[in-house]
Structure formats: structure tokens, C-alpha cells
Amino acid sequence: MKFDVPTLVFILSLVGVTQVVALFIQYRVNGTYRGIGWWLLGSLAMSLGFVTLSLAVVDAVAWVSVISIPTLILGRACLFVGTSRYLGERLPKAFVYGSVLSFAAAYYFFLFVREDIAWRTIVGSGGIALFSLLNARILFRSCKGRYGTVSAFTGGLFLFAGLQLIFVILYTLVSGPMRSYLDYALPQVMIFIVPSITSILWTFGFILMVNQRLVSDNQAEQENLRLMFNARPDAALLIRLEDGVLVDVNQGYLQMTGFTREEILGRSAQEVCGWTHPEDHRAFLAAMKDRGECENLEFESRHRDGTGFIGMVSARILNLHDAPHILSVTRDITERRRAERERAELDATNQRLQKAESLGRMAGAIAHHFNNQLQTVLTNLEILGHAGGGTDHARVLARVKQATDRAAEMSGLMLVYLGQTTQEKAPLDLSELCRGALAAFRDGLPATLGVTEDLPRPGPTVLANGPQLRQALANLLRNALEALDAGRGTLQVRIRQVPAGDLPAGHRFPINWQPQAREYACLEVSDDGTGIQDGDIEKLFDPFYTTKFTGRGLGLPVVLGIAQAHGGAVSLSTRAGAGSSFRILLPLEH
């Protein structure tokens, strides 16, 4: 039987395209496995080699056939690289690169320098044979592993291909001269008919190796899942999604609930795990339906003996034995919630005690202040009652008015602190307001005191009451001035815009305040004075709490009241001996 060699080459090209498609599918599905991409590249190179070789009979494009044999060698080298990477073998990169370049150089020497088709056949067959035998060697070495028979079968194909090419080399050495690769002769027939069979088989072998690895990895993953499932201290359940039946539970679930495995397996999960509040169960089902998972969903349920517990469940849907299942993990947080309740009750008690202390201090200070003012009024009224003709009635009445004004001022400040004043608000430029207030504050300051400002132009716009903000700034400036040692030091006033997510969280008052706007104006007053002791920080904004002068202490509480009245808060940072920074946070007016 006489074979038409060009037809064989064309058939082999079609086989190569089929290989490329098959390996491309494997690469798309299992691309995380190292080596499959190299197999795809090798098949692509070999297909290109056979296609360009078949074009040698077409005069118009015959010149492209000069790349055919080196491309075939490169393709077989890529297969070797892919097998090495897939099996985790050490790859001699320098040897591979050097061999491919050496065979290509020798081939082109016998093509362009000393034209000899026989030696080109020997060089091409030698390059392909070398990488075929190297492939066979690696595959045979892995026969004792998980690939077993498939590895031996594929290695045998490469061994056969390599030996066949060695035979072609020997035959070419002893035979007569050749005219073309596409002439009918035994070497040419063997070069093309054997690969057309073996290439299909080794592609099939590679795919079988990938499938074996998938099966092995799947078994290992299931075993790891089983070990993790049973080793978890939390309660784990495996529920078949189709009918909600409990397929498996771990020891943690049995210990937490008091059930035995025989009592619950095969029963409905809803029946066994009965949720105390149906709305919690509906939220769980909605999360699983919408997202295929849920995280840290809190619920209440009961143990086997009827006692209640609080659980926190996380779950996700996974495929097991070709069916969707729900894997859920539940942690008993009953003790945690009990501890949190006790801590909350203790905090509430402490807050009540602190409030009582604050109210007592405030009542004492108010009584002290009003007593002083009333004493002034009574004394001056007495003077009027016993006054003779020489008494300066106007001066006495002025002192009475001054005392009543101070009492009224105290009442007004208390109303500001409590947020019970009604003041009109309008959009205003915070920087301009601060410039005016600072100009008045600087008058009369000693030369030993410096005031610096960082106020943008234009400044952030806030919806505010101007007089109240000026009062708040004045209070902060006076507070900073009193913190300086003997009136020496520096005060800094700065304004900036801060996104809500970047607002300082520590030492923020009121303690439970949370930002509602997207962005805030931050008015900051800093000093380099003595700083504040940690034990004093939480009491700074209590009315009449002061470490400075008896009977004073409404400056900072008024600042806090004004900030709250504007939808904002006050934060501070301090370090003993290094100064303090107070910040009024106000929502921006957009």
C-alpha cells in the first residue's frame, strides 16, 4: 500500500487542530494545574509545524515551510516542559533552551549553508526524539504515584515515538539521498503516520492524567472537609438542600444540643433545630436564597432538654455528591451575651452613679453661685432699707443689677448646655467667623503668647448660629490659655474638612455620638500646655467640673451643648505635659 505523504501531513495537521481544541478546553476548566498551558502551547506549535510543512507543495507560500521542523521540535519541547511542571519535576531550563536553539541552528545550517535534506531529517528527528524520550522518562518515573497505569501508557507512547525517530535517523544514514520531506519513502511515511496515531493517544493520556488528578484532589478535599467538619469545636451540620434533611452532624453539635446522632440523622433540619423566632429562620433562608451564604446570623433555639440558648450561625451552599447541600456552623454565644448584658447593666449603673455625682456637683455649684448672687442682692437691699440721705442709690442698684445679670447668665449657660435654647441658624463661612473671633481675642494678649491660624479661603460652610459658635470658640481659647504655663506658649486654630469615616473615634463626646453626615467641618484649637490627666478626660464636659477655680466649669460643657445643638460633637486628644487639642465637629452644609 502506497501512502500519499502530503495527504498524511494534511491529516496530521487536522489531528493537531483537534488536539489543540481538546487541550484548550482542559486549560479553560483546569487552568490552575501547572503544565496544562505548556501542553496546549506544545500542541499549537506542532500543529503549526505540520500546517507549514504541508504548504511546501504550494509554490506561492512554500517559503513558510522553512519554520516547520524547528517548530515541531519546539512543540515537543513544550510538551516536555508541561509534563515536568504538571508532575512537579525539576526543569533543566538551560538544557531545554540550549537544545532547542542548537537543533534549530543545525537545521538552518543544512538548509541555507550546506543544503542537505538528509541531515535536516536527522537533525529534526533527533530533536523531536530527544524530547519524546525525556517525556517518557518523566512519565515512567511517576508510574508508582497516583497516575499509575495512565502515566505508564502515556510514557510508552512517547518512548515508541522516540524509538521510531531513532530508527528514521539510522535509516536515513544508510539510505540513499532524499529529494523532499513529502516524497514517498519509508522515513517520511514513519515520520508522519506514527505521530498521527500516537499524538491522539498521548493527548488522551494527558486528559486522563488530569481527570485522575481531579478525582484525587476531590477525594482529598472531601477528606479534608470531613476532618474539618468533625474537628471543629463549634456545631456543624450538613443539610441536603432539596428536602432539608440532616445528612451529617459533628460531635460539637451533639455536645451543644444533647442529641445523639441516631436521634437526628435523616430528620428534617427545621424539626430538629427549631428556631425560637420564625423571623430569624426566614432571614436565614432569604440569605441562603439570595447570596448562597450567610454570615454571623444570631438566633435563639433550644437544647434537647428544652433549655434555651443563643447561637450565631454561618452557612454556605456547596455541591457534594453532585447535589447541593448547606454546610452550617453554629457557635453557642449564650455566655457571651449574658456577659455583655451584665457588662451593659454595670455600665448603666456606673453611668447612673456618674450622673448622680454630676448632678450633685452641678446642684452644689448652682446653689453656690446663686447663693452668692442672692447674698449680693440682699445685702444691697438692706443698705437701701437703712439708707440715709447720703447713700448712692444708683451705685447700690447697679450692684443689684450686676448680681441678677450674673444669675441670668448662669441660667442661660445652663440652657445652652442642655440644648434648650432656640436660636436661628444660617449658612456661614466657618473660616470668616473664626477670623473675626480671633481678632478680638488677640487684643490684650501678652507678647509671650503666640496664636497661629490655619484657616482656608473660602472656609467650609456650616448651618449654624454665629454668636453661639463664637462663644464656643472663645470658650476653647480661654480653656487653652489657662492650660499654658504662666501664659507662655502657643495656641493654634485650624479648620479642615473631614470625611465621616476619617473622624477620630477616641475621646469623642457625647460618647454614643455617631456621624450622620458624609463630611464634617473640624474646628480645632490646640495648645502646648500641661495636657490633661487620663482620669480627668471623661469628666471634662460635666457641668461645673474643674481643676482650676472653685465655682467655675461651664466653659467646655457649653461648647459640647453648642456642638450638639448643631448636630455635631466634640473630640479631644491630649498627652500629659505635651498639650491638648479640642475639635468641634460640625456637619457641612451642601
Q: What is the CATH classification number for the domain harbouring 309?
A: 3.30.450.20
For the segment 235-243, the average pLDDT, to the nearest whole number, is 84
- The predicted pLDDT at position 134 comes to 95
Average pLDDT for the chain:
79
DSSP code at position 277: S
Residue 31 counted as domain residue: yes
Higher pLDDT: 48 or 17? It is 48
Residue 368 has a pLDDT of 56
**Domain endpoint, select from 296, 315, 332:** 332
> Does one domain contain both 178 and 206?
yes
**What integer is the mean pLDDT of 6-25?**
73
Residue 527 CB contacts under 8 Å (≥ 6 apart), including other chains? 480, 481, 483, 484, 489, 490, 491, 492, 579, 580, 581
| Within-domain flag for 226 | no
Q: Is the dihedral of CA 367, 373, 376, 378 positive or negative?
A: negative
52 within some domain: yes
Whether 294 maps to a domain, the answer reads yes
Rounded distance between C-alpha atoms, residue 578 and residue 590, angstroms:
37
The stretch 241-262 carries a mean pLDDT of 85
Say yes or no: 70 and 197 in one domain: yes
Let me know whether 325 and 347 are in one domain. no
Domain boundary among 196, 221, 246: 221
Look at residue 3 in the predicted model and tell me its pLDDT.
46
pLDDT at 70 (0 to 100): 94
34 with 166, same domain: the answer is: yes
- How much is the pLDDT for 106? 96
Say what the pLDDT of residue 550 is.
Answer: 40
Cα angle vertex 556, ends 551, 557, to 5°? 80
pLDDT at residue 426 greater than cutoff 80: yes
Q: Which of 128-132, 178-182, 533-537 has the lowest mean pLDDT?
A: 178-182
Residue with the bigger pLDDT between 457 and 551: it is 457
CATH code where residue 413 lies: 1.10.287
Nearest to 50 by CA among 15, 12, 80: 12
Write the CB contacts of 198 (distance below 8 Å, at least 6 apart in sequence).
Answer: 157, 158, 160, 161
**131 and 11 fall within a common domain:** yes
The H-or-E segment that residue 215 falls in is helix 186-231
Give residue 414's pLDDT. 58
Q: Is residue 85 included in any domain, yes or no?
A: yes
Domain assignment present for residue 349? The answer is yes
Last-in-domain residue among 418, 439, 458 = 418
pLDDT beyond 90 at 167: no
**In this structure, what are the phi and psi dihedrals at residue 437, rounded to the nearest 5 degrees?**
-65, -40
User: Are 404 and 273 contained in the same domain?
Assistant: no
Q: Which of 9-18, 107-116, 387-396, 424-433 is the least confident region?
A: 387-396
Distance (Å, whole) CA 579 – CA 529? 4
Percent of the chain with pLDDT over 70: 76
Q: How far apart are CA 111 and CA 585, in angstroms?
A: 83
Are 500 and 562 members of one domain?
Answer: yes
Say whether both 171 and 242 belong to one domain.
no
Distance CA 91, CA 84 (A): 6
Residue 201 has pLDDT above 50, yes or no: yes
User: For 29-38, what is each residue's pLDDT tens digit?
Assistant: 887 788 889 9
Asked if the model's pLDDT at residue 291 lies above 60, the reply is yes
On whether both 346 and 468 belong to a single domain, the answer is no
Mean pLDDT of the region 134-149: 87
Asked if 499 and 518 touch (Cβ cutoff 8 Å), the reply is yes
Domain that holds residue 362: 337-418
Does some domain include residue 291? yes
- Least confident segment among 42-46, 220-224, 342-346, 527-531: 220-224
pLDDT confidence bin for 576, thresholds 50/70/90? confident
Cell of 580: 491638648
In this structure, the answer to whether residues 36 and 16 fall within a common structural domain is: yes
> Which pLDDT belongs to residue 1?
44
Residue 227 lies in a domain: no
- The confidence score (pLDDT) of residue 136 equals 94
pLDDT of residue 187: 57
Looking at mean pLDDT, say which of 9-23, 195-209, 300-314, 554-568 comes out highest. 300-314
End-to-end CA distance of the chain: 91
Count the domains in the chain. Answer: 4
Which of 42-51, 228-237, 316-325 is predicted with the least confidence, judged by mean pLDDT? 228-237
393 and 269 in a single domain? The answer is no
Averaged pLDDT for residues 457-484 = 86
Q: Is the dihedral of CA 112, 115, 119, 124 positive or negative?
A: positive
pLDDT score for 114: 92
> What average pLDDT score do residues 402-430 get?
66
Give the model confidence (pLDDT) of 62-82 as tens digits.
688 899 889 999 999 999 999
Same domain, 544 and 574: yes
Instruction: State yes or no: pLDDT of 359 exceeds 60.
Output: no
Does the pLDDT of residue 105 top 90, yes or no? yes
Give the pLDDT mean for 283-304.
Answer: 86
